[in-house]
Amino acid sequence: KNEVEQSPQNLTAQEGEFITINCSYSVGISALHWLQQHPGGGIVSLFMLSSGKKKHGRLIATINIQEKHSSLHITASHPRDSAVYICAVRLDYGGSQGNLIFGKGTKLSVKP
Amino acid sequence: GAGVSQSPSNKVTEKGKDVELRCDPISGHTALYWYRQSLGQGLEFLIYFQGNSAPDKSGLPSDRFSAERTGGSVSTLTIQRTQQEDSAVYLCASSWGRTNEKLFFGSGTQLSVL
């Protein structure tokens, strides 16, 4: 079983829809990252969370440490949001800041 | 520079040859990270440098892989005696070096071992 599980693997939405991508992990963590990878391959760091909720524009990320779960929400989705969204965690024991465990990603396609 | 720069963007090599991949982090960033992304696989951690501390090499898959960071800036990832399973996109990232902060990624080097 992967330590970081994302769902769904693939998601197709219509422009304007509210989107939720989920990330569950089975280990204790000190931080969780949400990353966006566009079709060209470039990766952008969207959020780093250790508790609570963060918001940036139309993107909202939440984390529930007790339930070992995080969600990434996109409001009023747009075709330019089409990308692979990747969840990554840093373990809370051992390992360095760079030693992240990555989920396999959620491929989002937003249709006009 | 304005962002993390990696070179070359593409590298095709023959099995058994050595390759060097370069990463130029954002100026002032003390932390530097190497990851790789194989076709159909997720990202995996390779090595992490933080300032003058000993690097975390725990993600390097074999002793054919090594990395150095000169002068606290540019880093080179070296793969000796390349194998076909080394084919992947090698990604470099950098950050300010504070605890649990966002990372800034380069565009990656696509390595193909024939």
pLDDT tens digits for range A20-40: 999 999 988 989 999 999 987
pLDDT band at A11 (very low <50, low <70, confident <90, very high): very high
- A90, pLDDT greater than 80: yes
Q: What is the mean pLDDT of residues B65-74?
A: 91
In this model, does residue A1 exceed pLDDT 70?
Answer: no
Token readout for A62 is 């939440």
Q: Do A43 and B89 touch (CB under 8 A)?
A: no
pLDDT band at residue B1 using 50, 70 and 90 as cut-offs: low
State how far residue A84 is from chain B, nearest Cα, in angstroms. 11
- Average pLDDT of chain B is 93
Q: Give exposure, B51-62, as e/b (b: 16+ Cβ within 10 Å).
A: eeeebbeebbee
Residue A48, CA atoms < 13 Å, CB-side half-sphere: 16
The 8 Å CB, 24+ separation contacts for B8-12 are: B8/B109, B9/B107, B9/B108, B9/B109, B9/B110, B10/B109, B10/B110, B10/B112, B11/B109, B11/B110, B11/B111, B11/B112, B12/B112, B12/B114
Rounded to an integer, the average pLDDT of B37-44 is 88
- Tell whether A57 is within 8 A of chain B (Cβ): no
Q: How confident is the model at residue B67 (pLDDT cuts 50, 70, 90)?
A: very high
Comparing C-alpha atoms, which of A81, A95, A71 is closest to residue A14? A81
Mean pLDDT of chain A: 93
CB A111 within 8 A of CB A62: no
pLDDT tier for residue A82 given thresholds of 50, 70 and 90 = very high
Q: Is the pLDDT of residue B46 over 60?
A: yes
Strand partners, B90: B36, B109
Q: What is the DSSP letter of A16?
A: T
B72 inside 8 A of chain A by CB = no
Token pair in block for residue A4:
């970081």
Alpha carbons A39 and A43: distance in angstroms, whole number: 10
Q: Closest Cα of chain A to B42: distance in Å?
A: 5
